[in-house]
Amino acid sequence: MSFGSTMFKNLKDKIATQVNKTNQTILSSILQTDPASISKDSGARTSSTTSHNDNFDHNRSRLNSAASDISQTASANNNYVSPARSFVPPSDIESEHGGDESDHETNSKMQRLVNIYKTKFIQLKNAYDEVERERDNIKNILQQHQDTSIKRQTKLREQIKIDRQVKEELERSYKQEISLRDNKIQELTQQVRTTNDHVQVDREEMRNLREKNTKLETLLTQCKEAIKNHQEKHLKVVTERDDLFEKLNEKQTLIESMMKDRQPEESSIQVKENFDCDTSVLLKDKERLQEELEATRLCVRQLETDLESIKQQSVTFNSNDEIKQKHEDLLAEFNEKSSHLEQIINDKLTLEISNKELQDFIKNCQETIDKDKQQIDILKDTLSKENEQHTKSLDALKTEYENLTNELQQTKQAKDSIQSLLSDALQERTIDKDLEIQQNQNTVDDINEAKASFSQKLDCQRQEHLDEMATLKSQQQIEFDNNLKELREEKDYLEIKIEQLESQHKKTIEALENELTAAAKRAQDKITDLTKQTDEQKNKSNRHEQELNEKSSQLIELEKQLETLKSQANLSQKELVDECNSLKEQYQHISESNTQKNEQLTELEEKLRIATQQLQDEILHRKNIEKQLEIISLNNSMDEFKTTITEHEQLQQTIDNSQSNDRQLLEQKDKMIDTLKQDYELQIEKLHEEHKRTVEDLHEQLLNLNSEINEKNETFSAMEAKLNSTLSEKTSLKNEIDQIRIQMETIQSNSNEFNVKFQQTGQQIKDLETDCDSYRNEIETLKTEIISLVNINEENIRRIDQYENEKFDFEQDISEKDRQITERDEKIQEIELTLKQTKERATKLREALQRTKGSIKNNEQPNAVDSENQIQVISQEYEQRLKENEMEYNTKLKIMAKEMSSKIEENEYNYNQKIHDLIQKKAKVENDLTNSAERRINDAERRAYISEEQISKLQEQIKEKQLDYYRHIQDLQIEIHKLTKQIIPTIEQFSQTSIEDLYSNDIQHPFVIEPTEVDYLKQIVLAYMTGTDRLTMAKVICAVLRYNESEKSLIIEEEKLRQSRWLNSTR
C-alpha cells in the first residue's frame, strides 16, 4: 500500500504539471469573448505562470523521467502495454475577477465553467481508474520478478555448493595421488625387506636340506636292503606255494582215479591200505606246511614291527639306531656318501658366503639409494615450497590487477553514469527549450560552460589516477622481475645438483653391475657343478625307477585281486541299497506326514552306512594287511627319493628366482630414477613456459592499461576541479546511503535467519515426511503380513487337501494289499493243487513200480532180491522227499499267513493312528492360524490407528509452521515497504533541495551539475523494481560487493537468461 500511495502522489504531480500546460489553451478559448478581462488579468496570469514554472520545474522533469521509464517497461515487457493517454487534465479554477459585465453574461460563463469541470471530473475519474489498473499490473510484475530473484538465489547457492564439492573432490584426488605414491615407496621398501628375508630363509632351508639329505641317504640304503630281503623271502614263499599246489593237484588226480577205477571188495582192502598210507603222508606234509606257514607268519609279523618302528623313528626322532645295528656292513658306503655330501656342503658354504657378500653389497646400495631418495625428497619439498611462494606472489599480483581493473570499471561506470545523467539533462532541457526557447537561451549557455568545466575536472582526476596506476604497475613489475631472477638462480642451482646426483647414481649403478656380473659368473659355475651332481643322482633315480616299475607290475596284479573283492563288496552294497530303496519307497508317504518315522528312516540309513563303512573298513584292513609288506616300503622309498629331487630343484629355482628378482629390482630402480628425472625436467620446463606466458600476458596487459590510462588521464584531469565541489555533497549522500545499506543488511540478516528457520522447518517437514513414510511402510508391512497369513491359511488348506489325498492313496494301497492277499490265496490254492497232482503222480509211480516188480519177478528171479531192495530204497527216499516237501510247503504257507495277518494288523493300526494324528494336527493348525491371524490383525489395526494419530498431529504441526512462516513473510514485507517509504521521501527531499540550490545559485556559480548520483541510483532502483532494467542493478551490486570478473560474468549471464525465459513465458 505504501508503494501505491507513492505512485498516487507522483500521478498527482504529473497531473498538476499537465494542468498548468493546458490552462493557457482552455482560458484562451473561454476568455476570447472578453478582451478587456484578458488585458486586466494578463499580469496576474503571467505572475502565476512564472511561479508555476518555477515551482513545477522539478515535477516536469520527474514526469518526463517517469514517462521514459514507462516506455522502457513497455519495450522490455511484451505482456504489459500502458494505455494511450488521451486525457489531458485541465487546470484548477482560476481566480474570479470583477468587471462591468452583466449578470446574464456571468451566469452563462459560470454554466460553461460547470460543464467544463464536469467533463474534467469524468476524465479525472477515468484517468484514476487507468492508473489503478496500471498499479495492479505493476504489482503482478513485481511479484513475478521477486519469484525469479528467489529462484536465482537458490540456483546460485546450489552452484556454490557444487563448486565447493568440486574443490573437495580435487583435494581428495590430490590426497589419493600422494597416498598412492607413498604406498609405492612403502612397497619398494617392503620388497627390499622381503629379499633380505628370502636370503635368510634360503640359508635355513639349505641347512635343513643338508640334514634331510643325510637322513634320506641312510634310509635309502636301509630300504634297499630290506627290499632285497623281502624279495628273496617272497620268492621262497611263492616257490613253496607252487610246490604245494602241484602236490595237491597230484593227490586230487589220484583220488579221482581211485574213485573211478574202483575195484570189487577184494581190491578195496589194498586201496584202503594205500589210501591210509597216502593220508598219513599227506597229514605229515600238512603239519610240515602248517609249521612253515607259522614260521613265515612270524617273519611277516617281525617285518611289520620293524617297518612300524622305522616309521616311528623317522617321524619322532629321525634316528635309525636299530637299523644301523642290523646293517653294520653298509657303514662303509655311508661314509663314502657322507664324504661326498661334505664336499657338497663345503660348496654350499662358499655359495652362502658369496650370497652374504652380495647381500651386504645390496644393503650398501640400498642405503645409498635411500640417501638419494632423501635428497630427492628434500629437493621436492624445496621446489614445492618455492612453487607455493611463486603461486602466492602471482595470486597477489592477480588480485592487485583485478582490483585495478575493478577500479577502472568503476570509473568507466561513473563516466557512463555521468554521460547518462548529462544525456537525461539534455533531453529535459530540450523539452523545456521547445516550450520556452526565448527565456532559456541564457541558461543553455551557462549549462554548456558548466559541462566544459566539469569535463576538465574529470580529465584532471583521470590523469592523477593514471599516474598512480603507472607508479603501482612499475613497482609491481620491479618486484616481478626480482622474483623471476631469484627463480632462475634457484633453477640453475637445482640443475647443478641434479647433474651431480645423476653422475653419482651412474657410478654406483656401474659398480653394482660389475659386481653382479662377477657374482653371477661364480653362481653359474657352482650351478654347473650342482647340475652334474644332480645328473648323477638322476641316473641313480632312473635305475631305482626301473626297479620300482617291476614292483609296480606286481602291485597291479594285487590291485586286480582287490578290485574283484571290491566288486563283490559293491554287489553286496547294491543289494543292501536296493533293499533300502524298497523300504524307502514303501515308507515315503508316511515320512512326509510324520517326522518321527523320518527320524527312524534316517537312523536306519545311518546304520546301513555304518554297516557299509564296517564292510569297507574290513576290506581296507585286509588290503592293508596284504600290501603293508610291499607297498608301504616302496612308497616310502619313492616319496623320500622324490622329495630329495624336488628339494634340489626347489633350491635351484630359489637361487634363480633370487637372482632374477635382484635384477628386476635393479631395473625397476633404474626406471624409477629415469622417470623421476623426466618428470622433474618436464615440470621445470612447464614452469618456465608458464612463467614466460604469464610475463608476456602481463606485459601486454600493462601496455594496454597504460594506453587506456593515458587516454583517460587526459579526460579526468579536467573533471577534478568540478568534483571537488561535489565531494562534500557526496559524503553526506554516502552517509545516508550507508545508513540505508545498514538497514538493508539488517533486513538481509533477518531474511537469512528467516531462511535458516525456513530450512530448519523444511528439514523438520522432511523428517515428518520420512516418519510418515516409515509409518506407511509399517502399514504396508502389516498388509503384507496379512497377505502372508492369508497365504499361510491357503497353504494349510492345501496341506489338508494333500492329507486327504494321502488318505485316499493310503486307502487305495490297502485295497491293493487286499488284492495281493487274494492273489496269494489263489497262489496257495494253486500250490495245493500241485501237491495233489504230485501225490497222484506218486501213486501212479508206485503202481508203475509194483508193475515193474511183477515183471522183474517173472523175468529175472536171481537178481530179484537185489533189485527189490534197490527199488525199495529208491521209493523210500522218494517218499521221504515228498514228505519233506509237503512239510516245507505247509510251514511256508503258515509263515506267510502269519506274516500277512501281522502286516495287515500293523497297517490298520498305523492307518488309524495317522488319521487320528491328522485330525489333531488339522485342529491345532486351524486354531493356531486363527489365533495368529487375529493377533496380527489387532496389532496392525493398533499400529494403523497410532500412525493415523501421528500423521494428523504432524499435519497440524506443519499447518502451524506454515502459518508462522506466512506471518513472518508478511512482517518482512511490511518492514521492506516501510523502509522503501523512508528511502523514497529522503531521496525526493534531497533531490528537491539539491535542484533548488542549483537553481538559486545559477547566478553565483559559473557551472551547475543538475543531476546527481542519488537520481542515478533512484533511476536504477526504479528500473529494478519495475523490471525494465535489471542488468544495471546487478552490475551496481557486483561493483559494491567487489566480485571477481568471473563471478560478475556469471551473474550477468544468468540475469540475461532469466529475462529471456521470462519473456518467453509471457509470450
* 932-946 confidence digits (pLDDT tens): 767 777 776 777 677
Largest Cα separation within the chain, whole Å, is 213
Asked if pLDDT for residue 1052 goes beyond 60, the answer is: yes
Q: 196-213 burial by CB neighbour count: b if 16+ within 10 A, else e?
A: eeebeebeebbeebbebb
pLDDT for 666: 65
* Other beta carbons within 10 Å of 431: 13
pLDDT bucket at 204, cuts 50 / 70 / 90: confident
Query: Which triple of cell numbers denotes residue 868?
Result: 527189490
Write out the DSSP string of 225-261: HHHHHHHHHHHHHHHHHHHHHHHHHHHHHHHHHHHHT
Asked if pLDDT for residue 98 goes beyond 50, the answer is: no
- Considering 203-207, 551-555, 856-860, the range whose residues carry the highest mean pLDDT is 203-207
262 sits in the region (left: phi over 0; alpha: psi -120 to 50; else beta) called beta
Asked if pLDDT for residue 1007 goes beyond 50, the answer is: no
Distance separating alpha carbons of residues 689 and 684, to the nearest angstrom: 9
pLDDT bucket at 248, cuts 50 / 70 / 90: confident
pLDDT bucket at 455, cuts 50 / 70 / 90: low
pLDDT bucket at 746, cuts 50 / 70 / 90: confident
Query: Which triple of cell numbers denotes residue 1021?
Result: 532502483
pLDDT for 616: 66
Asked if pLDDT for residue 809 goes beyond 70, the answer is: yes
Asked if pLDDT for residue 1004 goes beyond 50, the answer is: no
Distance separating alpha carbons of residues 126 and 132, to the nearest angstrom: 10
Cβ partners under 8 Å of residue 891, min gap 6: none
What HEC string does 165-191 produce? HHHHHHHHHHHHHHHHHHHHHHHHHHH
Asked if pLDDT for residue 625 goes beyond 50, the answer is: yes
* Other beta carbons within 10 Å of 320: 19
Distance separating alpha carbons of residues 89 and 19, to the nearest angstrom: 5
pLDDT, mean over the chain: 67
More confident residue, 164 or 601: 164
Distance separating alpha carbons of residues 444 and 74, to the nearest angstrom: 32
Query: Among residues of the chain, what percentage have pLDDT more than 90?
Result: 0
Q: Angle at which helices 103-260 and 1045-1066 pack, to 10 degrees?
A: 100
Q: Cell numbers 621436492 label which residue?
A: 380
Q: Cell numbers 516536469 label which residue?
A: 60
Query: Which triple of cell numbers denotes residue 587?
Result: 515308507
pLDDT in tens, 360-381: 766 776 676 677 667 667 766 7
Nearest to 518 by CA among 654, 661, 358, 362: 358
Residue at 437: amino acid letter: I
Range 715-742 average pLDDT: 66
Distance separating alpha carbons of residues 428 and 433, to the nearest angstrom: 9
More confident residue, 162 or 47: 162
Residue 561 burial class via C-beta count within 10 angstroms: exposed 0-12, middle 13-18, buried 19 and up: exposed
Half-sphere exposure (Cβ direction) of 759: Cα atoms closer than 13 Å: 6
Distance separating alpha carbons of residues 168 and 162, to the nearest angstrom: 10
More confident residue, 200 or 430: 200
Residue at 296: amino acid letter: T
Asked if pLDDT for residue 497 goes beyond 60, the answer is: yes
Q: Are 206 and 352 in contact (CB under 8 A)?
A: yes
pLDDT in tens, 253-294: 776 776 666 544 444 455 556 556 656 666 666 666 667 667
* Other beta carbons within 10 Å of 418: 20
Residue at 962: amino acid letter: Q
Query: Which triple of cell numbers denotes residue 1025?
Result: 523494481
Q: Are 327 and 225 in contact (CB under 8 A)?
A: yes
Residue 83 burial class via C-beta count within 10 angstroms: exposed 0-12, middle 13-18, buried 19 and up: exposed
pLDDT for 329: 61
Range 46-58 average pLDDT: 43
Query: Among residues of the chain, what percentage have pLDDT more than 70?
Result: 41
* Phi, psi (rounded to 5 degrees) for 719: -90, -10
What HEC string does 350-364 produce? HHHHHHHHHHHHHHH
Asked if pLDDT for residue 120 goes beyond 70, the answer is: yes
pLDDT in tens, 902-934: 777 777 777 777 777 777 777 777 777 777 767
Q: Cell numbers 663345503 label which residue?
A: 346
pLDDT bucket at 595, cuts 50 / 70 / 90: low
Query: Which triple of cell numbers denotes residue 531?
Result: 647340475
Distance separating alpha carbons of residues 873 and 854, to the nearest angstrom: 17
pLDDT bucket at 87, cuts 50 / 70 / 90: very low
Tell me, what DSSP letter sits at residue 493? H
pLDDT bucket at 997, cuts 50 / 70 / 90: low
Distance separating alpha carbons of residues 1042 and 1048, to the nearest angstrom: 9
Cβ partners under 8 Å of residue 563, min gap 6: none
pLDDT for 853: 63
579 sits in the region (left: phi over 0; alpha: psi -120 to 50; else beta) called alpha
What HEC string does 577-628 produce? HHHHHHHHHHCHHHHHHCHHHHHHHHHHHHHHHHHHHHHHHHHHHHHHHHHC
Nearest to 605 by CA among 576, 563, 640: 576
Distance separating alpha carbons of residues 493 and 499, to the nearest angstrom: 10
Asked if pLDDT for residue 300 goes beyond 50, the answer is: yes
Element (H, E) at 455: helix 441-586
Q: Cell numbers 545508513 label which residue?
A: 739
Distance separating alpha carbons of residues 139 and 145, to the nearest angstrom: 10
Distance separating alpha carbons of residues 876 and 17, to the nearest angstrom: 166
Cβ partners under 8 Å of residue 905, min gap 6: none
Q: Does the predicted model carry a pTM greater than 0.75?
A: no
Asked if pLDDT for residue 74 goes beyond 50, the answer is: no
Q: Are 1002 and 446 in contact (CB under 8 A)?
A: yes
Cβ partners under 8 Å of residue 1025, min gap 6: 142
CA 213, 215, 218, 224 dihedral sign is negative
Q: Pick the range with the lowest mean pLDDT from 5-19, 37-51, 859-873.
A: 37-51
